[in-house]
Amino acid sequence: MTKDKKELAVAALQDGTVIDHIPSEVLFKVVDLLDIKSLKGSVTIGFNLDSAMMGKKGIIKIAGVTYPESTLNRIALIAPHAVINIIKDYEVVEKHQVTLPDDLIDIVKCNNPKCISNNEPMHTHFHVIDRDNTLLRCHYCECLVSKDEITLK
Amino acid sequence: MKTKSLVSITDLSKDEIVHLLKRAAEFEKNPNQKILDGKVVATLFFEPSTRTRLSFETAVNRLGGRVIGFSDAKTSSQSKGETLKDTIMMVSNYADLIVMRHYLEGAARYAAEFSPVPIINAGDGANQHPSQTMLDLYSMYKTQGHLDNLTITLVGDLKYGRTVHSMLEAMWYWHPTFNFVSCKELAMPEQYKQFCDEKGITYHETTDFSEDIINESDILYMTRVQRERFSDLMEYERTKSLYTLHNSMLAHSKPNLRVLHPLPRITEISQDVDDNPKAYFVQQAKNGLYARQAIICRSLGIE
């Protein structure tokens, strides 16, 4: 298969957002995180695509939508090396890696059943205390959540 | 006038802790003052804790304030399914300050976010209990005359005991040396040992509660080994007897050594220690009154 034919497998975007370099195993978590199923426009989701860098990767192309930086940075929680491309008129006008914010509001669920955030109608709040290892601390009960224990709300 | 909540001991800077210790000493000299005249303090105990509640309520009463509240969630609207937020908002209509104890962890931190009046955390599950930490610090400060470079030996349940964790977080300003004495099952959690490493605190870990360790200590802080922490009852009985302090073990201890315990004690300190002048746990509880008077006045912005 030639390179051209490979690229044709995924539709080109006129305007919108492309999220690339998502590890395949977390692709659908990213889909949930961005609440893509509620979108009305066209969305292309690529799963288990060949990648020279990652082996297999996922990619999401969302037509006609740009997200606030804070929303996109949530992706860093599960895909710290994901790359955001903003497309305008078929051109990439902006390209950058996601960065984990210092605070995560209402994104992660606390794993402590005795935490107030699991017992009141309220937002969860986590502090990122170790960016490299994605270690979080609950703002309320102060329990630690490591990368492998993260459950999205 | 600045009002401030107190949720965790880590909310306080070194200067603020020192200021509270000095205030506690002033209250000890003169515990009956009318400086809370006209103030109403609510004590909301969603989980019963008679000792802590009486200490806070005595602190308010001796300063001339009035107390409202409940001592058990069964008698509050919580039992009807009211949210914590609604309960706090309702009570804040009536009171100038809320002292709350809750079985859920993080409850006080959450309440302090929206409450129009300051919140004092009187214990949130296994998480924080800053007034206990303040009275522990005050007891050490009072008996040693200072807090610098103390050798503090923590004995018993170092895994679940929140008082020992808070002590590490508060004491690091004064360069302490810690001995952690416990069985392996109840050893100091990794995250607190990491904290000591980050802050340059020297610590030694051992399972052996020996006289050598007691003899080098300035403070011997005993904690309760709880039966519910063990799946094996035999193991519990064995551990309990290994970490019991007897009077004979204090024979060659330093003259300034004091034995502390957050109480209630079960068998960790044998009754024959009670008459030893180094036994300090009853006075320690009394110090809670002065520490809480200092905390209440800080929260209400009364100097």
Q: What is the CATH number of the domain that holds B148?
A: 3.40.50.1370
Q: Are B49 and B122 contained in the same domain?
A: yes
Strand partners, B203: B178
Q: Please give the single-letter amino acid code of residue B271.
A: Q
Q: Are A87 and A107 contained in the same domain?
A: no
Q: Are A46 and A119 contained in the same domain?
A: no
Give the integer Cα–Cα distance in Å for B51 and A152: 40
Quote the pLDDT of residue A11. Answer: 65
Give the integer Cα–Cα distance in Å for A27 and A47: 7
Domain that holds residue A27: 3-97
Contacts of B261 (CB under 8 A, 6+ apart): B221, B222, B223, B224, B268, B269, B281, B284
Domain that holds residue B108: 31-128
Q: Is residue B9 classed exposed, middle or buried when 0-12, 13-18 and 19+ CB atoms within 10 A define those classes?
A: buried
Q: Are B141 and B94 contained in the same domain?
A: no
Quote the pLDDT of residue A10. Answer: 53
Q: Which two tokens stand for residue B219?
A: 């403070």
Assess contact for B99 and A137: CB atoms under 8 A: no
Q: Are B119 and B138 contained in the same domain?
A: no
- Please give the tally of structural domains in chain B: 2
> Are the beta carbons of A138 and B106 separated by less than 8 Å?
yes
At B203-256, the pLDDT tens digits run: 999 999 999 999 999 999 999 988 878 888 888 888 888 899 999 999 999 999
**pTM assigned to the model:** 0.88
pLDDT range class, residue B274, cuts 50, 70, 90:
very high
B51 noted as active-site residue: yes
Q: What 3-state DSSP class applies to B224? A: coil
Higher-pLDDT residue of A124, B239: A124
- Chain B nearest CA to A125, separation (Å): 10
Q: How many helices (H) and strands (E) does chain B have?
A: 10, 9
Q: Does residue A9 have a pLDDT over 50?
A: no
Tell me if chain A has a CB within 8 Å of the CB of B128. yes
A 83-112 near B (Cβ less than 8 A): 112
Q: What is the CATH number of the domain that holds A17?
A: 3.30.70.140
Give the integer Cα–Cα distance in Å for B79 and A114: 17
In a domain, B299, yes or no: no
Three state DSSP letters for B1-69: CCCCCECCHHHCCHHHHHHHHHHHHHHHHCCCCCCCCCCEEEEEECCCCHHHHHHHHHHHHHCCCEEEE
Give the integer Cα–Cα distance in Å for B18 and B107: 27
The residue annotated as part of the active site, out of B23, B53, B62, B129, is B129
Instruction: State the average pLDDT over residues B142-169.
Output: 95
The residue annotated as part of the active site, out of B52, B143, B153, B223, is B52
Q: Are B152 and B264 contained in the same domain?
A: yes
Instruction: State the average pLDDT over residues B257-267.
Output: 93
Q: Are B124 and B159 contained in the same domain?
A: no
Q: Does residue A7 have a pLDDT over 60?
A: no
Q: Which of B104, B124, B128, B169 has the highest number of chain A CBs within 10 A, making it the mutation to test binding with A?
A: B104
- Chain B nearest CA to A108, separation (Å): 16
Among A95, A102, A58, A96, residue whose Cα is nearest residue A77: A102
B129 noted as active-site residue: yes
Instruction: State the average pLDDT over residues B43-62.
Output: 96
Instruction: State the average pLDDT over residues B156-165.
Output: 92
- Please give the tally of structural domains in chain A: 2
Q: What 3-state DSSP class applies to A140? A: coil
Q: Are A90 and A111 contained in the same domain?
A: no
Q: Are B208 and B88 contained in the same domain?
A: no
Q: Is residue A80 classed exposed, middle or buried when 0-12, 13-18 and 19+ CB atoms within 10 A define those classes?
A: middle
Residue of B nearest to A135 (CA): B191
